[in-house]
Amino acid sequence: MQTLSKNQQIIFDLIDKSPEPMKAYAILFNVQKKGIKAPLQVYRALDKLVEIGKIHKIESRNAFIACQNSSCQVSKATAFSICEICEKVTEISSASLSKYLTNFKDKDGMKYSKYNLEFFGLCKKCR
Amino acid sequence: MQTLSKNQQIIFDLIDKSPEPMKAYAILFNVQKKGIKAPLQVYRALDKLVEIGKIHKIESRNAFIACQNSSCQVSKATAFSICEICEKVTEISSASLSKYLTNFKDKDGMKYSKYNLEFFGLCKKCR
DNA sequence: AATTTAAATGTTATAATATAACACTATGTA
DNA sequence: TACATAGTGTTATATTATAACATTTAAATT
Ligand SMILES: [Zn+2]
Ligand SMILES: [Zn+2]
Ligand SMILES: [Zn+2]
Ligand SMILES: [Zn+2]
């Protein structure tokens, strides 16, 4: 449990209470009243928060979401479900999935140190 | 087997013969001598090529790679290995992996219509 | 406590990635 | 031919992300 710096805490709190993934410039807009004025201040905090696993980047959306999986200390194995209509994103926490992927070896016997998986479909509400 | 338009064919050929994923503006630079002058011309061709599964986007790299998997007509189930040192990208073609992921259901019983998986590690050469 | 080191901050400028809007052209099909 | 659909060309602009540099804060080491 790492203690966050001022900017990191402000930005984490915002993302954490957002019901949906947030984009960097939406974050910037929201924290300007707290004195964070420049994109770089946002991106630096985001980089650190991703590094320590407090948030994850949804690559297909260029957006950031708080880790919903308390056991996910380091972001080396991430999986998300994304609704293609309402854009709701949920972090998937499935022991069997993570076991399967963590142990996955390709034809060369290459073992990977990290993965990111994004599933797309329609959420309950949108079906 | 869809026939490609002029711009689509030019851009596909370039990506297909590239040993590594290509970024949109690198593509633009390379096809300017063939009369494709604007980013939008590139992005439109890329969109179509992705849609029909001739190429895939490597989301974590904002780069495009030709489909290396002849059976992958429609890009609904993609998996890649990415070397974090040399940035070599390989499309993974594993029947068991695709079976596992295609049948994966989350806790809500939600079934997905599409997924993208990116593995990170070190390739043979870089270890 | 003083020194040193690493991490974080503030700021300006700019690079890289991607789309909007509109006019026009080619192609297929009824 | 008339109509619909897909593709093109062009200019402008939006969005996402990093470079470079000066300064400050926090943490570790002596
Ligand atoms: Zn997580
Ligand atoms: Zn939905
Ligand atoms: Zn493929
Ligand atoms: Zn490598």
Indicate if CB(B43) is under 7 A from strand C: yes
Query: Across all residues in chain A, what is the average pLDDT?
Result: 93
Length of chain B as a residue count: 127
Provide CB contacts within 8 A for B47, sequence distance 6+: none
* Shared domain check, B61 and B10: yes
B62 and B87 co-located in one domain: no
Domain ranges, residue A104? 77-121
DSSP conformational letter for B34? G
CA dihedral defined by A66, A72, A78, A80, rounded to 10 degrees? -50
Residue nearest the C1' of D7 (CA based): B5
Q: What is the CATH number of the domain that holds B35?
A: 1.10.10.10
Tokens representing residue B11 in the block: 């851009």
In this prediction, residue A101 carries a pLDDT of 96
Note the CA–C1' distance, B44 to C21, in angstroms. 15
Asked if A101's CB is within 8 angstroms of B124's CB, the reply is no
Residue of B nearest to A96 (CA): B104
Supply φ then ψ for residue A40, to 5 degrees. -60, -35
Distance CA B23, CA B20 (A): 10
Name the domain count of chain B. Answer: 2
Q: Which residues of A touch B106 (CB under 8 A)?
A: 81, 90, 92, 94, 119
Residue type, B10: I
Residue B1 has pLDDT above 70, yes or no: no
Please give the model's pTM, rounded to 2 decimal places: 0.95
Same domain? For B94 and B50 the reply is no
Nearest to B98 by CA among A84, A106, A75: A106
Over residues A62-76, the pLDDT tens digits come to: 999 999 987 565 579
Residues B60 and B82 in one domain: no
Over residues B44-103, the pLDDT tens digits come to: 999 999 999 999 999 999 999 999 987 565 579 999 999 999 999 999 999 999 999 999
Q: Which B residues between 56 and 115 have a beta carbon under 7 A from any strand C atom?
A: 62
Q: Are the beta carbons of A119 and B114 separated by less than 8 Å?
A: yes
Give the H/E segment covering residue B44: helix B39-51
Question: Encoding tokens for residue A48?
Answer: 């650190």
